[in-house]
């Protein structure tokens, strides 16, 4: 008898109904739509995703890109828009954001009263990108040389972006996160600082204060972000102070598609 007859899995992408302990002798195992059984992973890193060809990265070769020079949140001024171009339906893939790394290349400015740098994250229907920024989509690569170099469904833009107004489906995933305190009332950031935004991270954030006038290594755990077909994630960067002048970052993104 074939093993596929003895071991059967029920495809359940959504969380199935739980079973009480000891009620049944056996049950059909939960499986993904690709046939893998759901198990507790023994590898914490992303090598298996890269091995199957579903992990992607993009960057602009460490060239700084200016952010929006905004002092408050505005729905039409994100610093990044990541859109899923796949077709909705049972075969449509989702994008799972893993990380966004920002290396400061220009420290920015305020006229006065600088307080901190802030971050917000929203999900919405469609692709709300309108204009501006830098399109990193043609720089997407798979880190597995045996996989096609560019077969991603993502569109990734970063910089001083103009986006369309929010739709009725918009969801605020992260309403406010402080990335770093101001260096001074007139200087927001430090050239050479690295900020790693870890989507779905379970690791703790930096414990204790940073040296505000130095280039720090800052890790920021954030909620998991999942972008379905014909949806987008919008990431906002706010310079909380008077009359801000843009900070510039060399960005890098990592995500997987399944």
> Is the pLDDT score of 226 beyond 90?
yes
Confidence of residue 17 (pLDDT cuts 50, 70, 90): confident
Tens digit of each residue's pLDDT (9 = 90 or more) over 93-152: 999 999 999 999 999 999 999 999 999 999 999 999 999 999 999 999 999 998 877 789
Tens digit of each residue's pLDDT (9 = 90 or more) over 109-122: 999 999 999 999 99
pTM for this prediction = 0.89
Closest listed residue to residue 93, CA positions, set 63, 49, 51: 49
Confidence of residue 199 (pLDDT cuts 50, 70, 90): very high
What are residue 250's DSSP bridge partners? Answer: 103
């Amino acid at each position: 008898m074939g093993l596929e007859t003895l071991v059967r899995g029920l495809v359940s992408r959504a969380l199935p109904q739980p079973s009480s302990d000891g009620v049944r002798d056996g049950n059909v195992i939960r499986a993904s739509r690709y046939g893998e059984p759901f198990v507790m992973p023994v590898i914490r890193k992303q090598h298996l995703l890269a091995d199957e060809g579903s992990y992607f990265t993009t960057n602009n070769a460490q060239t700084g890109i200016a952010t929006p020079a905004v002092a408050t949140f505005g729905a039409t001024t994100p610093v990044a828009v990541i859109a899923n171009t796949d077709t909705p339906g049972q075969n449509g893939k989702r994008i799972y954001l893993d990380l966004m790394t920002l290396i400061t290349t220009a420290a920015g400015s305020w006229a006065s009263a600088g307080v901190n740098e802030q971050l917000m994250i929203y999900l919405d229907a469609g692709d709300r990108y309108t204009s501006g920024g830098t399109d990193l989509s043609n720089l997407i690569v798979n880190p597995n040389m045996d996989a096609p170099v560019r077969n991603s469904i993502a569109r990734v833009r970063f910089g001083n972006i103009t986006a369309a107004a929010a739709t009725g489906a918009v969801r605020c995933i992260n309403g406010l996160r402080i990335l770093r305190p101001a260096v001074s009332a007139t200087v927001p950031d430090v050239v050479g600082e690295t900020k790693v935004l870890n989507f779905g991270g379970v690791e703790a954030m930096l414990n204790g204060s940073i040296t505000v006038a130095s280039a720090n290594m800052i890790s920021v755990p954030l909620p998991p972000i999942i972008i379905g077909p014909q949806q987008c994630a919008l990431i906002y960067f706010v310079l909380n102070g008077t009359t801000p002048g843009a900070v510039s970052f060399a960005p890098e993104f990592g995500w997987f598609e399944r």
